[in-house]
Structure 1
Amino acid sequence: MTSRERVTRILNHQEADRIAIDLGGRVASMHIEAYNRLKGYLGIREDHGLTWNKLWFQVEDFDERVLNEFDIDFRRVYLRGPSNGGVRFNPDGTITDEWGLTLKKITTSHGPLHEMIGHPLAEASLEDIESYSWPDPTDPARTKGLEEEVKNLYESTDHAIVAGAIGAGPFEVASWLRGSEQYYIDLLTNREFAVRLFEKVVDLYIEFYRVFLNKVGKHIQIIETSDDYGTQRGLLISPQLYKDVFKPQHKGLLNFIKSR
């Protein structure tokens, strides 16, 4: 049974010859420090350079040799970055991404990571949401070579192909743009702003997925998306608040993806 057959059977709730094995992306990955040690153990020296996953989540895009070593069933394709690269390296050593979020590299006991220090909509008004310089999902650079890549994976391998997650989730992005503390305050004292900001981010994500799936849709078996509404200790917001404010837009995004 091939990987693609195995995963397809599992997704259809049918028995397969074994459990499918995943490694990579954001939710089935490992910290970059552990990954580098694993590569060293396997004798792999190359580095993929700075990627979105490495910048934001401290996880790596896995080398094909690592995936083959552990007989991984899945391979991922990602929407590319914008034509300007999507990352600005500032003179003070900080980094600003295409959403306008600024990060500073710090070192912790668990290794290096990028701490968010700049929230571009921290003092914004409702009108500022509409006039803000948002990322352009239709930038041609985002899909350059993508159709050829996914077609090659589909025709030359038997792996299950995943359309990888487009960055962080809409709730995460909305709260980061505003600043998490202020965004939670907005949910109680400035609900209209909080809702509109989330709606705007979801609208952009729908366009990102439209562009992405127009190129890869007929060759993939899985679409990966995520968001983060909790911590190791519990929920960030109440279930009722999620149902009242976020679920309608979240459902709209997922319904759009399923319709493709």
Structure 2
Amino acid sequence: MTSRERVLSAFQHRPADRLPIDFSGHRSSGIAARAYPALRAALGLPSRPAYVYDPIQQLAIVHDDVLDRFHVDTLELGRGFCQDERWWADWTLPGGQPCKMPIWALPEPHGAEWVIRAPSGRIIARMPEGSEHFDQTWWPFLDGPEDLTRIEELYAEHMWTGIASPPGPSVQSPAELAAGAARLRASTPRAIIGLFGGNLLEMGQFYYRMDQFLMLLAEDPVRVHRFLDALVEIHLRNLERFLGAVGPYIDIISFGDDLGAQHGPQISPRMYKEFFQPRHQLMWTRARQLAPVKVMLHCCGGVKPLLPLLVDAGLDAINPVQISARGMEAHALKREFGRDLVFWGGGCDTQRMLPLGAPEEIRTHVRQQCQALAPDGGFVFQQVHNILGNVPPANIIAMYEAVASYS
């Protein structure tokens, strides 16, 4: 099987020649730039500069030699862009390692911390001393009445939509985006993931702040519906533009909405059904009408109570399958939802096991997760979310050795 065939077999819920593997195929399956040079050294690979393609989380671009070593079957669409050095600038990670950062999101010192500014000059992200990721600092609709006609205009003024990964501003037209996607498709047998977003609950939290938006959901539903209606209109317009350009060249489109927390969903099933399910269904249905893509939702936390509603909305795959959260035990998820959902993740716990376990513990844990999630297909191996900077390279290697031995 090719990598593309292997990944797509998971969506057909049939076994492949081996487990399909994702590593750095999207912004929640990667590795911290601080950890990446040590991993390359442990693999005996030549030293290469760490390119930080996600400035907020400080994730590294994983080079082809590492992808080949771990038999990775996925690639993120952004890998086809910004390959010229003019898009990168020298920077230094919090741990002191040199790296390359996109020129359009270059942090600047601000007292004892680092900040990133919007084009207006407003500080929209800050990283305090000792931290290894940026936090949002400004919420456009937090104070005063919101102007819904300015939602898209204000994308540049808050962190998660204002700080782009490649291609970022290197692409100025749908034609350029399509050309880059076509070149990438022709260059690789790997399944290509296109990152779209289309966030709903999270966009409310980005604009109003998390606590404020959760209160609005409970106390002012009419106001929330107005916001979400205006937002979905923008998402659908952008979806048409995005898939109109890259639809023939990608296999999976990734939406995002962190609906869960450590101990369960952020919102009740009733609230999800009222505010979010119809709008998810509208976007996911339209995506399939525009291109032959599979729909994946990045959704952290203990979201098991919401899974039947997500399935009914038309979801194909859920990621990262946070097995350390309440209700997310792998055997039970597979038994109850294995015929309806692809589990893209859940292969290794990154909260405790990957950073703190011994290599043999990790091998045992990974084999157990694969035994729970892999039977009859419907599983793409990925650790739960990104590999953080404190993970020893021996543990990462043990994780992928266990996947290979299971396969």
TM-score calculated relative to the size of structure 2: 0.54
SS of the residue 1:199 aligns to: helix
1:141 to 172, 180, 184: 172
> Which residue of structure 1 lines up, in the alignment, with residue 234 of structure 2?
204
Aligned to 1:69: 69
When structure 1 is superposed on structure 2, of 209-218 and 93-102 the one drifting more is 93-102
1:121-177 deviations in Å (ceiling 9; x for gaps): 102425x1224534499x9626464323322232232211221x2357232122121
Return the offset for 1:87. 5.0
Measure, in 2, the Cα distance between the counterparts of 1:77 and 1:19.
Answer: 22
Structure 2 Cα separation of the partners of residues 120 and 90 of structure 1 = 22
- Is the contact between residue 127 and residue 133 of structure 2 (CA under 8 Å) also seen in structure 1? yes
Deviation larger for 116-125 or 88-97: 88-97
**Counterpart in the other structure of 1:104:** 126
1:51-130 correspondence to structure 2 within 5 Å: 51=53, 53-55=54-56, 57-78=57-78, 92=110, 93-97=114-118, 102-108=124-130, 111-126=131-146, 128-130=147-149
Q: In 1, Cα distance between the equivalents of 2:107 and 2:268?
A: 38
Please give the residue correspondences for 1:1-260 in structure 2 after superposition, counting only pairs within 5 Å: 1-24=1-24, 25-41=26-42, 42-49=45-52, 51=53, 53-55=54-56, 57-78=57-78, 92=110, 93-97=114-118, 102-108=124-130, 111-126=131-146, 128-132=147-151, 133-135=153-155, 141=172, 143=174, 145-163=176-194, 165-167=195-197, 169-260=199-290
Structure 1: runs of 5 or more not aligned: none
| 2: CA distance, partners of 1:156 / 1:58 | 26
Q: Give the letter aligned to residue 237 of structure 1.
A: I
Cα contact 2:116–2:125 (8 A) shared by 1: yes
Unaligned runs of 5+ in 2: 83-102, 162-168, 291-407
Distance in 2 (CA, whole Å) between partners of 1:232 and 1:97 is 32
Q: Closer, same or farther in 2 for the Cα pair 1:239/1:148, shift >3 Å?
A: same
In 2: Cα distance, 1:202 partner to 1:184 partner:
18
Letter in 2 for 1:21: I
Matched letter for residue 158 of structure 1: P
* Whole-angstrom distance in 1 between the partners of 2:144 and 2:123: 14
Query: Could you tell which deviates more after superposition, 22-31 or 176-185?
Result: 22-31
Residues 1:193 and 1:124: Cα distance change in structure 2 (over 3 Å): farther
- Percent identity at matched positions? 24
CA distance in 1, matches of 2:81, 2:189: 23
Superposed CA RMSD: 3.2
Report the secondary structure of 1:32's partner residue. Answer: coil
The CA deviation string for residues 188-243 of structure 1, in whole angstroms up to 9 with x for no partner, is 22222222223333322222222221111112221122210111122111111111
Tell me how far apart the structure 1 counterparts of residues 36 and 234 of structure 2 sit (CA, whole Å).
Answer: 32
Please give the secondary structure, in 2, of the residue aligned with 1:152. Answer: helix
SS in 2 for 1:166: strand
Residue-by-residue CA offset, 1:13-54 (whole Å, 9 max, x unaligned): 3332111111111232233333343244433322324x4x33
Q: Contact 2:127 / 2:135 at 8 angstroms: preserved in 1?
A: yes
CA contact (8 A) 1:86 1:97 kept: no
Conserved 8 A contact 2:36-2:50: no
Question: 1:170·1:205 contact (CA, 8 Å) conserved in 2?
Answer: no
Q: Secondary structure in 2 aligned to 1:113?
A: coil
Give yes or no for contact 2:199–2:257 (8 Å, CA) kept in 1. Answer: yes
Return closer, same or farther for 1:60/1:206 CA change in 2, 3 Å cut-off.
Answer: farther
Answer whether contact 1:32 1:54 (CA < 8 A) is retained. no
Name the CA distance, whole Å, in 2 between partners of 1:21 and 1:170.
Answer: 28
CA displacement 1:39-70 (0-9 Å, x = unmatched)? 44433322324x4x332x34333223321221
Aligned equivalents of 1:175 and 1:247: distance in 2? Answer: 17
The alpha-carbon distance between structure 1 residues 208 and 193, as it changes in their structure 2 partners (threshold 3 A), is: same
Does the CA contact (< 8 Å) of 2:199 and 2:256 recur in 1? yes
Q: Does the residue aligned with 1:19 lie in a helix, a strand or coil? A: coil
Equivalent residue pairs, number: 249
Structure with greater proportional strand content: 2
Rounded Cα–Cα distance in structure 1 between residues aligned with 2:134 and 2:198: 14
